[in-house]
Structure 1
Amino acid sequence: MPFDITNGAPQRIAIVGGGISGLACAWVLSRHHHVTLYEEAIRLGGHARTVLAGKRGDQPVDTGFIVFNHVNYPHLTAMFRDLDVPIAKSDMSFGVSLDAGGVEYALRSGNALFGQRRNIVDPRFHLMIRDILRFNAGAEAEVAAAPEMTIAALIARMRLGARFRDHYLYPFCGAIWSTPDHDIGAFPARAMVRFMRNHGLLSRGQHHPWWTVDGGSISYVERLLAALVQAGVDLRPGTSVGAVTRSGETVTLRAKGAEAESFDHVILATHADQALAMLSDADGTEQAALSAIRFQPNHAVLHADPSVMPRRRRCWSSWVSRGDTGRAGVAVTYWMNRLQNIPDDDPLFVTLNAGDGIDPRLIYDQVTFRHPIFDLTALDAQARIAAMQGNRNTWFAGAWLRNGFHEDGFASAMRIARRLLPVAVLP
């Protein structure tokens, strides 16, 4: 029977992983328990990663977590409010540039939608727009009727055209989930539709306002770390956990080059494959569920090369999906000036999977992230992991347990907190 607590003395809890999921666990659980947090990297924050760049080298730019909104990020928003994190308005416009500019449009205005002027009289473009409207109006009902349907099956079921698929939906999903076209079709349609509904993307009405952390996400990480230290959390960056062993009601962690330590509970706030690698005594259920979650690398480059943007300035948007129709892989550029209110005379972009198309003289920083692949197997594994939470006093946290976003990591921490905190202490 999974562990559950409603009262009792404070316990010793180890958290492995210093990204948003692990930090959120520490933030909430330290209200009652003794928390030790391990992180292999020297830097805490995970995908909350800010780099100083720009012409003068003093412009903070985010390369991972960038934006949030108050409606769909309630836990993150509450923490920002508690920590007095400074925020600023952002912009979440989306644009497409395919086949070396042969197909370009953006969804931020009528002028941008028809930024490629020939689209005004192109019946195929108008058919794509009609399909977008049909999809927005009918996708929820179709998914409700067939919950196990993939995105490719939904497109076929609704008789949506190839242009809708190749020039709108697949580029859009690729930009949101950093996933190549050949994987998008196998995604569960219900997960995509749920995300689009929650973010107001299926409505013609006003979308949710978006925000960014003023000064970069490092601003919230610094405030959060200070609060954790004040709460007595033992932060151990630069500490790699080699093995986790469970015996009875005790969990033993052995950090590389250190003596073993015992805890009442362990929370593995890492990627699923990393968590499995640490469990020296993983049972069959853990092995099957954790190994079912796949991840893919996405190389991010922070740079000042505008050649990655649409040929037509009218189509420049905060998020631009760029590439060739049917191209393997995903290439997405984030226009950081628009997203983080950076002056236009200091151009800054973050591009995923650019290959060798960026002028090396204009590169400020490079990093490789690993993002989950949300196919039907992954969604099934998510349900199995939820059912085994707390078994052998072991818990799993991570954005990969839902949709892969910052709030999803925080939400995974809150689900654990509801099981490990006395009711009177719950936030």
Structure 2
Amino acid sequence: MAYYLQKEGLKKHGENAAQKLEITLFERKASLGGNAETVVVDLGMRRMEQGVDVPYLRWADLGVNDVNLTTYKRLEAVMREIGYLEHMKPLQDTESYFTRDGRISLTDDTYLRQGVSDPAFSLDHVDHGRLAPLIQVVHRAALDLLDSISPSYTVAAYFDDCVAKPREMLEAAARELGIAIDWGDPALSDRVQSVRTLIYYPRIAAMYFTDDQGPGDMPLEAPFQYYRIQEGGGEPRRRYFEYGSQRWLEALAAHLVEADSSKPSVTIRRNADVHVRIEPGKATLHDDYGWSASFDLVIMATHADDARRIVTLSDTLAPIRQRLDSILGSVRYTRSYSVCHTASSRLPLNKNIWRTYNIEIRDPGDTFFPYRIDYVANLHQNDPDNPAYDSAGLPQYFVSLVNDLNSIPKQDMLDKVLDADRLSREMLDRLPESTRTQMQEGIHNSGYKSELPELDDALHRKAWTYFKHNVLDAGCIQAQRDIDRYNADVAHSYREGEAPWPLLFAGGWTCGAGLQEQCLEQSERLSRWLLGTE
């Protein structure tokens, strides 16, 4: 948001921009970036040439970890502008789907660049090659519906329709893709059910915004809007953040605050646990230590429930307070844990089908808990084109997103490295500043761990973090539309010099699935509304 306010402010006010607009960003944590979390872990000793043993230390992203530059056009443009794009590295974009008991094991190796793809498990060979093209058709048909459906049309309803009337639902998409489907095949409906049960339900259950009631109750537009951006645009250019996603956020922050008298100033205050009071034409921020300051406008980029907690509107704004409370209260949240570990039992029984993204297929009667996926870190954060970063063959370690911290045995959790002296100078210099700071302080308090009970020291030192995510259900989608209208109304009044109540909302919950590209899109739109540069 600060980036686009600065950019659009410069466009509107030219050489007077610095005098017209001053921006202060308040971050509750010591580190920037919401669900960005980068740690260093200890994997033991690595034997080098001539039999020399050295500590084998690796870094891992526990939160935001990759993007698709094919569709992340705004993100790519910003990265290019500030000189960060060269730090985005290609990852091994492959998937496996498996049942825990080993009955079913499938791999999607469409974008496998190096390695071995076993035809016995490849989706391209399942059901004599008939399943993979049907997946493409089902996917395209869902994408084609996005602009014509309401949030009440669920994932389950879509697949029920495809099972009951496959030709009516899928023929146009098949024709669009040039894929021949035998519409008279009596096994076609069963095959569509396999696409649902083996591929889409597990994948959607692994998404961070999934309803804890399961994938079927999600609006169809929720996962498929995500697919369109995160995996669409032709062949995806999936990239990970070299030495951690926080490095990107810190590079952006450095660009914003650099001394430049020609552009609006940006000040960043970290560890700022502030409260906001809104009155007609006035916004006041204060903390619990006696600090307070007034601002012309406040833009909340927090979770919706956090905004409800820290924002107070005066009694004279009671109708607005009621309107906002209804919108913000419509957004539900789930909690999850990201753990870095070596518990290979979470992966498929057959090591040869381990892939970058590993997604469990559940039995139909199982409860689908949200956000459960296992990353093989030596594939996910590994650049096979660069020998210095190619570590795919080294000891494997994993990052898992789970709904229960006890899902990973404590003895398999990796320890965070908190002693910076153990790192090589090259690694230390390239790690995010926030990761280095955590090492210096010997603590790790980012994310929402403060909401958890007291932890024993052993668990506190482990490489995990705690997140919360808004559920992208029909209520949240409606809240996004309502907050968009609210923002437009307030921005128009602000631009006209009225600003009856100086409060706006940005952040992940306000736009789609909350992907970085969507947050940038929403921030750019809101900045242009405010400054009249659209």
1:358 to 388, 408, 411: 408
Q: Which residue of 2 aligns with 1:406?
A: 516
Query: What residue number does 2:502 align with?
Result: 393
Aligned 8 A contact 1:105 1:112 in 2 = no
Correspondence for 2:223? 192
Corresponding residue number in structure 2 for 1:329: 369
Q: Secondary structure at the match of 1:76?
A: helix
What is the CA–CA distance in structure 2 between the aligned matches of 1:89 and 1:119, rounded to whole Å?
Answer: 23
Match of 2:97 in 1: 96
Q: 1:140 to 1:366 in 2, by over 3 A?
A: closer
Q: Distance in 2 between matches of 1:265 and 1:218?
A: 27
Equivalent residue, structure 1, for 2:469: 371
Measured in 2, the distance between the counterparts of 1:153 and 1:208 equals 28
For the pair 1:74 / 2:82, whether they are aligned, the reply is no
Query: CA RMSD, aligned part only?
Result: 2.9
Match of 2:387 in 1: none
Q: CA deviation at 1:409?
A: 2.1
Q: Which amino acid aligns with 1:315?
A: I
How does 1:336-347 map onto structure 2 within 5 Å? 336-341=377-382, 343-344=391-392, 345-347=394-396
What amino acid maps onto 2:508 in structure 1?
Answer: A
In structure 1, distance between residues paired with 2:312 and 2:123: 61
Q: For residues 393 and 42 of structure 1, what CA distance do their matches in structure 2 show?
A: 27
Post-superposition offset of 1:146: 4.0
Q: 2:28 is matched with which residue?
A: 40
Distance 2:486 2:209 in 1: 29
SS in 2 for 1:208: coil
Uncovered stretches (5+) of structure 2, i.e. residues with no partner: 11-16, 44-54, 164-188, 260-264, 314-319, 383-389, 415-462, 491-500
Matches within 5 A, 1:190-229: 190-199=221-230, 207-229=235-257
Name which structure has the greater RCO, CA cutoff 8 Å, separation 6+. Answer: 1
Per-residue displacement from partner, 1:275-327 (whole Å, max 9, x unpaired)? 12222116111011111111110111011232222122332121111263233
| The 10-residue stretch of structure 1 (59-68 or 321-330) with the greater mean CA deviation from structure 2 | 321-330
Deviation of 1:380 (Å):
0.9
Percent of aligned pairs with the same residue? Answer: 22
Find the partner of 2:353 among 315, 319, 324. Answer: 315
Q: Which of 277, 289, 298 is matched with 2:327 structurally?
A: 289
| Closer, same or farther: CA 103–288 of 1 in aligned 2, 3 Å | same
Deviations 1:369-420 (A, max 9, x none): 1112111111111100000116322111112222121222222221221123
| Partner Cα separation in structure 2 for residue 305 and residue 108 of structure 1 | 24
**C-alpha contact 1:298 1:352 (8 A) present in aligned 2:** yes
Partner of 2:106: 105
Picking from 226, 230, 241, the partner of 2:274 is 241
Q: Distance in 2 between matches of 1:354 and 1:370?
A: 10
Label 1:387 to 1:224 Cα distance change in 2 as closer, same or farther (>3 A): same
User: Which has the larger Rg?
Assistant: 2
Q: Any idea what the Cα deviations from partners look like across 1:4-47, whole Å, max 9, x if unmatched?
A: xxxxxxxxxxxxxxxxxx56467647754211111111222222
Residue 419 in structure 1 maps to residue 529 in structure 2: yes
Q: In structure 2, what is the equivalent of residue 11 of structure 1?
A: none
Report the CA distance shift for 1:187/1:354 in structure 2 as closer, same or farther (over 3 A): closer
SS at match of 1:302: strand
Structure 1 unmatched ranges of 5 or more: 1-21
Partner residue, 1:255: 287
SS at match of 2:206: helix
Structure 1 counterpart of 2:343, from 287, 293, 305: 305
- SS of corresponding position for 2:312: coil
Do structure 1's residue 51 and structure 2's residue 8 form an aligned pair?
no
Match of 2:141 among 105, 113, 138: 138
Superposition TM-score, scaled by structure 1 size: 0.83
SS in 2 for 1:108: strand
Alignment check: 8 A CA contact 2:107 2:121 kept: no
The size of the alignment, in residue pairs, is: 397
> Could you tell me whether the CA contact under 8 Å between 2:159 and 2:193 is conserved in 1?
no
Q: In structure 1, the residue corresponding to 2:302 is in which secondary structure?
A: coil
Residues 220 and 362 (structure 1), Cα distance of their counterparts in 2 relative to 1, 3 Å cut: same
Cross-structure match for 1:153: 157
Residues 235 and 323 of structure 1, relative CA distance in 2, 3 Å threshold = same
| Counterpart Cα distance in 2 of 1:91 and 1:250 | 51
- CA 314–416 in structure 1, closer or farther in 2 if over 3 Å, else same: same
Partner of 2:296: 264
Cα deviation for residue 118 of structure 1 reads 12
